[in-house]
Structures are given as C-alpha cells and as structure tokens.
Amino acid sequence: MFRIALIPGDGIGPDIIKQAVKVMKSLEKPGEIEFEFTEVLAGGAAIDKTGHPLPQESLDICLQSDAVLLGAVGGPKWDTLPGDLRPEQALLGLRKALGVFANLRPAVLFPQLKNASPLKEDIIGDGIDVLVVRELIGGIYFGKRGREGDTAYDTESYSVPEVERIARVAFDTARKRRHKVTSVDKANILESSRLWRETVTRIAKDYPDIELNHLYVDNCAMQLIRDPHQFDVIVTSNMFGDILSDEASMLVGSLGMLPSASLGNTKRGFYEPIHGSAPDIAGQDKANPLATILSVAMMLRYSFDLTREADDIEQAVAKVLEDGYRTADIMEPGMKLVGTERMGDLVVEYLKCS
C-alpha cells in the first residue's frame, strides 16, 4: 500500500488532482499495487479555513506519507497578506520539512507538440529534452531577509555541503542520460556563485565520464533559446533554477505539460506540476491535467519503483497527443479540443489498452 498525501490547493489544483487520482486508480491491482489517498489543506485554501498556509496537521500527514502530490497554491485573493502568511509559504515549509533538496524539472518537447513551441522548426530539430536540477531548500528563498526603514533585503547563502549534494544528484542523473552537466551561476559577480562553481568543479572529478561546463545565468537564459540541444542536465541554485525551468517550459509549448519531482535522501518525494493555480479558469473544465499526470509518472518511478507503470503513463500521454487531443493551452488548428475531465479519461482509456 502506497500512502499518498494529496494537496489540491487553490485555483485549478482540485481540478487537476482529480485527474491524477483517476489515473492512479486505473493502475491499481489488489494485493500488488494499491494507493491510499489522504487529502490535506495547504496554501490559500488552508489560510481561509485555519488562518495559516501550512497547518501542523497537514505537515504531519505529509511526513507520514510515502509521497506528496500537489496541485497548485496561490492566487490574487491572498496577494495582500504579509509574506510569512502567503500561500507560497506552504511550498517552502513542505520542501524544508520533507528535506527535498533536489528539484528535477524535465522540459521535454513531445513530437506531437512541435507547433506549440515558439521556437523555429530548424532550432527544434528532432525535439528538446533538457532536465533542470534545481537546488530547492537553500539560497535566497531561505536566506535572512527583512526591512530596515525604507530598505528591504534578501540574502543568498550556500554552504559547501549544500552544493555538493545537489551536484552529485546532477552528475548521477546525467549518467542515466547523455553524460553532460551544465552548471549555471553568476560567479563573475556573486561570492556564493564562486563557492558554487568551485564545489561543482571539485565534485566533477569523481565523475570523469561526465562532461562539465559552466555558464553564467544570463548567458544560459540566452543559450536556451538559441540552441537548446547543447543542454542535457542543468544544475543551478534555487532562484536561478526557478527562472530557467520556467523558461525551458515555454520552449516545449506550455507550462501545462511540465511535471516536477522534488527528492531528498529517502524515497519519499514531493511531486507537482510547475504551473501556477490559474484561478481565472478554475472549475471550468479548461485546465490541462497532463503536467500533473506526468508528475504521477515521476512519483511512480522515483518513490515507488514502479518503472513500467511510469513508462505506461508517459506512453499513454504521448498516444493521446498523437491522436490529436488537446486542451486549450496547447490547441492548434485541426486538433480536437477537450476539457480537463475528458483529457484525464483519455489517458485512462489509453492506459487500459497498453
């Protein structure tokens, strides 16, 4: 029995989590693969009910689970709250408490969605496959911050052990891919980046089979557009990774297609699509659930060792796209427009045929 804490959250979160659960239930085999779901409050929904973005009860349930699956949190409704009470604090608190320091964000362009990419066809070539490995519980998002008079500050800070562990995740992952790591920093300006570059360079000596190169973050942002094929695994800090992975997501057509896995030193992982809560389309059967469903595939692979089932989900998504089904965010002429519910049903139907 795999215990999964579900955090529907805000906006379209409940819509897409419903589809993810539908897909997982279709994979159940009594006595072999069984899932136990516990729904918990976090984000704006938790603020509305308890006054806090991450109630202790929710955190306790997540810590007792084998994996956590999140829909989305946040929205304009809570934008005027103090920083420590914003919905996004639930994400930071969960990541820290779960010890998930490595965020894996794959940006893969499905061949069926070439026309959804803003890049020219000669740049896309045979497709795009980039994995951003983002350090998740350090850096400026967790550094000392505050206000003094009319001045505000946020502190970027990294230790050698923090950089070492994320670097090893990147190199180990590259060994399963195309054996290339690009470390991204701002070492020409920032002292924390100089420590980052020194540490990654040293760790690279333990991986002589992996090609390592370094890029400044501004150059990397440009190169992702100019020639995404030069990248295999990108490893970078919390804030840089947040920005670059969103950029990479648009190269492949839509935020609605990008899953993520956040991992630590145990099998327990934290899984979520990288898009936001899109409150303007919440409850309207318009949201794309595929990023959440693909996040489920990552959960099955990394937390539960259900590699075949993970592959089946990814292949089912590819077949749905191959047959021309699209939600509004990836719609193009000649394709068949479907809503959130129907897209989830289609993935289940293709899974049953696999």
Active site residues: 141, 186, 218, 242, 246
Residue bearing tokens 């020219």: 120
- At which residue do the structure tokens 């002589």 appear? 208
Dihedral of the CA atoms 239, 243, 244, 250 (nearest 10)? Answer: 160
* DSSP strand pairing (233-236 vs 180-185): parallel
Positive/negative CA dihedral, 310, 312, 318, 323: negative
- The burial class, CB within 10 Å (0-12 / 13-18 / 19+), for 265 is exposed
Total number of residues shown for the chain:
354
Helices (H), the chain: 13-26, 44-50, 56-63, 88-98, 121-124, 160-174, 191-204, 217-226, 238-251, 290-302, 307-322, 340-352
Q: Please list, in sequence order, all residues whose beta carbon lies within 8 angstroms of the beta carbon of residue 80, skipping any fewer than 6 positions away.
A: none
Q: What is the DSSP string of 94-130?
A: HHHHHT--EEEEEEE--GGGGGGSSS-HHHHTT--EE
Q: Token pair for residue 354?
A: 């696999």
What's the distance, CA 236 to chain centroid? 14
Amino acid at position 94, single letter: L
